[in-house]
Amino acid sequence: MANGADRLDLDGRPIKPMTICMIGAGGFIGSHLCEKLMNETPHKVLALDVYNDKIKHLLEPDTSRWAERIQFHRINIKHDSRLEGLVKMADLTINLAAICTPADYNTRPLDTIYSNFIDALPVVKYCSENNKRLIHFSTCEVYGKTIGSFLPKDHPLRQDPDFYVLKEDTSPCIFGSIEKQRWSYACAKQLIERLVYAEGAENGLEFTIVRPFNWIGPRMDFIPGIDGPSEGVPRVLACFSNNLLRREPLKLVDGGESQRTFIYIKDAIEAVLLMIENPERANGHIFNVGNPNNEVTVRQLAEMMTEVYSKVSGETAIESPTIDVSSKEFYGEGYDDSDKRIPDMTIINRQLGWNPKTSLWDLLESTLTYQHRTYAEAVKKATSKPVAS
Ligand SMILES: NC(=O)c1ccc[n+]([C@@H]2O[C@H](COP(=O)([O-])OP(=O)(O)OC[C@H]3O[C@@H](n4cnc5c(N)ncnc54)[C@H](O)[C@@H]3O)[C@@H](O)[C@H]2O)c1
Ligand SMILES: O=C(O)[C@H]1O[C@H](OP(=O)(O)OP(=O)(O)OC[C@H]2O[C@@H](n3ccc(=O)[nH]c3=O)[C@H](O)[C@@H]2O)[C@H](O)[C@@H](O)[C@@H]1O
């Protein structure tokens, strides 16, 4: 893209090119956001991460048209004095860096809390002290469990949206007890949200907080034993993709009864771009970003992924496509779960006029086509290797 001279914000004003310091730019969301910014805007990106595999295609100096507009800095924000300088160089900082896979929350609670709270502190401080705008990535997990989940199973109020729809400005944050270490992540994210909000209230920090609701798509996490550790446990999309690629049953934790709403990464990135380019409408707000129309139980997700994968790979499904496992067996001690996650869309609709578009079937079709194309050969090779005696 272009010099962007003809691009207007939602209020009809020309959008000025800006420099964005993106921390965690090498991850799943960061890679899609960098791609969008390079393809469709004139903005510059200072891309900070410890890894860059997922944005390599944007960094090749010979092949990319945007080599001048994206600069990678290999930085661990835990201990790197260059961070403040990079925040100062930018107009806007977006912080995506975090440990954010549930398998880590109960097994590495200290790393989880440090990553999601302590390591984010200097970023907030540098933005506040230098009068720089901040978009901070939180999570829908800050809502924890729904109010309705505490009612008896057959209670009629469980069907009342007031008892389950999650609203930024009114829903409480309901976590389990301290020994349920699953909540270490949600609690650290909640505290950093409160800190960002307080910096806004007391010191005038211009901020936006994003609460993603299960964004999924290509490049999410890793396939164990192929581009990540064999024993690693990624998020559900990658776990189920791995099972499908290896022709193993998909593992349903505690019966797969939990409910989630899944949104296509490309829809969600549209919302983030609107926040970036409409500061007056986005500053001071917390936004749910999800697709309330794409709700399924984890069991239904497994069934749909099995069907879609058969279609895109041309392979028939195995005889028993799913298997039940206990959460203790799968995640270990201290796991707990959110029962249901439906985002209320009132605030994002009112401020940014944004709506998600892609159905669950369609987003799974494009994502599983990508997974098959990217990994099927490598998995075949890995599984056909003779075992050393
Ligand atoms: N994907 C989702 O649906 C989802 C949902 C809720 C919240 N979020 C939040 O969005 C953010 C991004 O999520 P994602 O799915 O892209 O995760 P991801 O793990 O793919 O990306 C995070 C990136 O941050 C980097 N990072 C972590 N610690 C770092 C450090 N100390 N220094 C430098 N880089 C560091 C990692 O290397 C990784 O590339 C996270 O804050 C996460 O909590 C994501
Ligand atoms: O994506 C989000 O919005 C947030 O939710 C995720 O949490 P969760 O949805 O629980 O994580 P997944 O790993 O995607 O699991 C979804 C559900 O599938 C289940 N699951 C997972 C993997 C598996 O193989 N089988 C299985 O049944 C889990 O127990 C859980 O109920 C992560 O915490 C974060 O990335 C993020 O903050």
Which pLDDT belongs to residue 4?
Answer: 57
Give the Cα separation of 97 and 28 in Å (integer): 11
**pLDDT tens by residue, 116-143:** 999 999 999 999 999 999 999 999 999 9
Q: How far is the CA of 298 from the centre of ligand 2 (A)?
A: 9
Q: What is the pTM of this model?
A: 0.97
Residue 183, pLDDT > 70, answer yes
* Pairing mode of beta strands 295-297, 259-261: antiparallel
Percent of the chain at pLDDT above 70? Answer: 97
Average pLDDT over residues 278-298: 98
Distance CA 389, CA 379 (A): 21
pLDDT in tens, 18-53: 999 999 999 999 999 999 999 999 999 999 999 999
254 torsion bin: left (phi>0), alpha (psi -120 to 50), beta (else): left
Active site (catalytic) residues: 185
Q: Does the Cβ of 102 fall within 6 Å of ligand 1?
A: no
Ligand 2 centroid to Cα of residue 310, in Å, is: 23
Q: What is the mean pLDDT of residues 286-302?
A: 98
pLDDT in tens, 368-384: 999 999 999 999 999 99
CB of 211 within 6 A of ligand 2: the answer is no
Q: Which domains does the chain have, with CATH numbers?
A: 98-377 (3.40.50.720)
Position 2 pLDDT exceeds 80? no
Instruction: Give the closest residue (by CA) to ligand 2 atom 8.
Output: 102
Residue 214 beta carbon below 6 angstroms from any ligand 2 atom: yes
Give the whole-angstrom CA distance, residue 18 versus residue 8: 14
Average pLDDT over residues 246-264: 98
pLDDT band at 77 (very low <50, low <70, confident <90, very high): very high
Residues above pLDDT 90, as percent of the chain: 94
Single out the residue of 373, 358, 147, 376 nearest to residue 263, CA to CA: 358
| Per-residue confidence (pLDDT) for residue 6, from 0 to 100 | 82
Instruction: Report how far residue 112's alpha carbon sits from residue 98's, in angstroms, rounded to the nearest whole number.
Output: 8
Q: Which ligand gives the minimal distance to the CA of 53?
A: 1
